[in-house]
Structure 1
Amino acid sequence: AYIREKKPSFKIDILDCEALALSYDQIKKYLDGFKPDVVAITMTTPAYEHVIHVADIAKSLNKKISIIVGGPHPTALPEETLAEKNIDFAIMGEGEITLLELLEHIEMGGANYDQIKGLAYKDIPGKIKKNEKRDLIQNLDSLPFPAKDILPINNYYLPATKRITGGVSTNMITSRGCPFNCTFCMAKTVWGRQTRFRSIKNVVDEIEDMIKKYNVVDFTFHDEFFTANRSRVLEFCNEIKKRGINIKWFCQARCGTVDEEMLKIMKRAGCEKIGFGFESGDENILKLMQKSNDLSKAKESADLCKKVGIKVVGAFIIGYPGETKKTIMKTIKFAKQINPDTAAFFIAIPYPGTELFRLAMEKNYIKKPINWKEFAPLSNQMPPMQIPNITPSELVALKKKAYRSFYLRPRYIVKKLSEIRKLSDLTSLIGGLNLFRRVLKTNK
């Protein structure tokens, strides 16, 4: 949307391969028909191999196509990413301004790339160069709304754990950055630690735009820390009510940052579910993660949500360096004590750009050569990190034990069945069961 606003002469299209469930052959057919001069791809670590494959496809059609990647992985590892023969440019950090400047340089014949902040690239001899860092965008309201008109909006539905009405859904971000320093989190890799907020008017204007144009009913706010500013949350909820907007929404919060009054107001404004990163039931492991959770505050936050009728989605991590089978069992027990409406258990993955990645490389916890396929949470690969005390296969078994122990409790099953009120409740439950089966079939 930013490129289209600043350079309307550029012909732009977005191909969401995952939402459209496209095969590599279908991607190739599309590129052959569109005949782009530039292909820009978001690269996360789990999608690394897929991105490289798409780059190879594009270059096989036309070697002159410029391949640009951006996102967490090339931001953290620009030189390693550019070592791939068909990757020409890597954008580090926030991409809007850097991508625009890069496209303008390519249009003019491709000179003076060294002047573009936030860019790493290959020069003519093939030498990798890394430019200086670009400052973060301070005024997020200056950015246009995402170009949803060229996305397959009707293909977007929330996963079972976050599904609310079952209607058309969309993702939104109302802020960038997170002030905390959790060792496993890669959010700060691109967005940084300084939290920058969009104005409430700007956010709610986008919500109204999505409702009017696309009949969106479910909104997921992907802010790392939606409840970072209590007064802002209240302002948001009041603006929703003031404009008479009727939506359902999901957000992420941090334990200890919610209170009963705020939650009641959020509920009245349409908040149906809140996700919390509980992570561990062991205080020492939480300290190692630099996660300033207090176990009592974690339970209190969950209890307050339930009290006002907001469902709780809990995330837990097992297999962090320093873990033992005993600490993992404490986490499983803690998950059942908190008793969120849905719980997700993840094996710790050392994503590039995180402190955990640095530690894992330093301690040789990651197998060499690195297989990036192992970094996908639901892949059939074994976990990428070999920590002391627990083998990867034992971690996989413990994760499956966590899911069985949490979801196969008779009380939990009866509760879920009793909550079915409408068709969307049933389809959400079925979706959750399918996800549960999928998790038990994977190696991690």
Structure 2
Amino acid sequence: MKVTFLNPPQTNSKYKFLGVVAPSLGIGYMAAVLEQHNIDVDVLDASALELTYEEIGEEILKRNPDIVSISALTPTIGVALDSADKIKQVKPDTIVVLGGYHPTFEYKSVLEEESVDVVVRGEGEYTLLELVRTIENNGDLFNVEGLAFHDENDGSLIVTPDRPIIENLDELPFPAFHLFPMEKYRILNITTNVATIITTRGCPMQCSFCSSAALHGHKLRRRSVENVVNEIEMRLMEQNIDTIAFMDDTFTLNKRFVKEFCSEIKKRDLKFWWGCTSRVDTLDRDLLQTMKDAGCITIFIGVESADQQMLEKMNKNITVSKTENAFKLAREVGIRSIASCVIGMPEDTIKSMKQTIKFVKKLNPNYALYSLATPYPGTRFYNETFKKNLINIKDWSKYTLINPVLKTVDCSSEELRKIQKKAFIGFYLRPNYLIRQVSTDGLILLKTIFGIAKQLISKQTNGNTDYNKTNVNKVGK
């Protein structure tokens, strides 16, 4: 059989807003596992290639797959379903499989669509492999763990037992990025030789809004240092990359691992720049210096809020003082920092949001992201806000972190938009900030910052999308 992996067109998410188009690690791993078992696979990245639905249909006819596997996040579920519709129109006998964060938790509503045959729930590598083999051999899908589908006899919903998580991540082959249009990926709308790598799955933290822990669980599973560095060495040799973005929820969670990783990088004399995510309570000067000496240039840190009570309601388990210290240390060591905060939580007031925005400026990071609180299916945050009837908007395409979807204490949706816009403009268009960034990162970044500001001023963050069709407006039950 032949399997085509489809990454659907990108909606107006924060990634499109910031000019980020990156290869899907999930698709990369699943494609690699199928290749490892001699299954014919290819990848159609409609987001990177900027394909229309008609062009997706043409590509499916040309590639002629037996199975199309579509990955979907919550804001992309509408375009994923519309892509499935187009596939069924041009090639009705194709088996359409949906997987990813959103289908895992909203499989009931996803399977209401006639164009979707099967949903893969949870980690998809071995579930999809077994699904393909079962279809090849005319076997019974009832015996495949991790699926949801409708019984072809009576139409009843079938949910097979959950598939156990993959305990040994080293057993997975490296993502099959040779199948991707690597020349099409970019950051800040700048084409760059960047690779994305993940070293862990699962997160032991209890943040209420985390969809990653909802999918992968709270048990932290980690690849070995040798396995990670072997992948890096291979990518440096075969793909001519110069930058690596580590996509872990918290790369610095285990200091011993980070130090061993940095030591191995230096031991093999590998030269590349890299960035990662972190928590303020996992950082100290020694660790940051070790990371910088091994090529780390940027660290993404979740600030979330300047209100300690708000942090506690999020189950963030950090303090404002630790946040201040972490950014101070990063600045002194010379690693660029990205401060990420969330505004528009149900208990947020105009006063508390302005306090957070002011606090981020005080931290003096190199970059700042002001996301609007967004409850994703599968998270404790979603369940709580759904039960309390705090969700204003049921259109999944608006769940992009740049659209207000929740009720707050004293702020309308329009006021939230204005607060977010002022936060971005107030941070990025400060004269002192612009002078500092030009001196450190050059005119290309300055041009990008003005591009972001232009989008904000022209109100392009209101959630409109070229793909806003009927399926986009569906809401989970």
Is 1:391 paired with 2:412? yes
Pick one of 378, 384, 396 that aligns with 1:372: 396
Q: Indicate conservation of the 8 Å contact 1:156/1:170, yes or no.
A: no
Structure 1: distance between partners of 2:204 and 2:455: 34
- Any residues of structure 2 matched to 1:275-294 within 5 Å, and which? 275-294=300-319
> CA shift at 1:126, angstroms?
2.5
> CA shift at 1:6, angstroms?
4.0
Q: Which residue of 1 aligns with 2:47?
A: 18
Q: Which residue of 1 aligns with 2:429?
A: 408
Structure 2: distance between partners of 1:372 and 1:181: 24
Structure 2: distance between partners of 1:203 and 1:176: 13
- Any residues of structure 2 matched to 1:114-193 within 5 Å, and which? 114-124=142-152, 125-159=154-188, 167-193=192-218
Q: Indicate conservation of the 8 Å contact 1:119/1:130, yes or no.
A: yes
Is 1:443 paired with 2:462? yes
Q: Quick one: higher RCO (CA 8 Å, sep 6+), 1 or 2?
A: 2
C-alpha distance after superposition, 1:169-193 (max 9, x if no partner): 1111011111111111211122111
Q: Indicate conservation of the 8 Å contact 2:196/2:245, yes or no.
A: yes
Structure 1: distance between partners of 2:439 and 2:178: 39
Taking a change above 3 Å as real, the CA distance of residues 437 and 231 of structure 1, as seen in their structure-2 partners, is same
Q: Which runs of 5+ in 2 are unaligned?
A: 1-30, 464-477
TM-score by length of 1: 0.94
Structure 2: distance between partners of 1:102 and 1:353: 24
Aligned to 2:40, what secondary structure does the other structure show? coil
After the TM superposition, which of the residue ranges 265-274 and 411-420 deviates more from structure 2?
411-420
Identity of aligned residues (%): 36
After the TM superposition, which of the residue ranges 19-28 and 313-322 deviates more from structure 2?
19-28
Is 1:419 paired with 2:440? yes
- How many positions carry a matched residue from both structures? 430
Q: Indicate conservation of the 8 Å contact 2:68/2:95, yes or no.
A: yes
Q: Which residue of 1 aligns with 2:219?
A: 194
Q: Which runs of 5+ in 1 are unaligned?
A: none
Structure 1: distance between partners of 2:346 and 2:91: 45
After the TM superposition, which of the residue ranges 404-413 and 11-20 deviates more from structure 2?
404-413
Q: Indicate conservation of the 8 Å contact 2:45/2:181, yes or no.
A: yes
The amino acid that maps onto 1:127 is S
Q: Indicate conservation of the 8 Å contact 1:75/1:189, yes or no.
A: no
Structure 1: distance between partners of 2:445 and 2:46: 24
Aligned to 1:194, what secondary structure does the other structure show? coil
Structure 2: distance between partners of 1:439 and 1:107: 50
Q: Indicate conservation of the 8 Å contact 2:438/2:445, yes or no.
A: no
Structure 2: distance between partners of 1:6 and 1:347: 41
TM-score by length of 2: 0.87
Is 1:7 paired with 2:37? yes
The amino acid that maps onto 1:175 is T
Structure 2: distance between partners of 1:5 and 1:11: 7
Q: Indicate conservation of the 8 Å contact 1:47/1:376, yes or no.
A: no
Is 1:266 paired with 2:294? no
> CA shift at 1:438, angstroms?
2.3
Structure 1: distance between partners of 2:129 and 2:192: 35
Structure 2: distance between partners of 1:170 and 1:351: 27
Aligned to 2:368, what secondary structure does the other structure show? strand
Q: Calculate the aligned-residue CA RMSD, in Å.
A: 1.5
> CA shift at 1:248, angstroms?
0.2
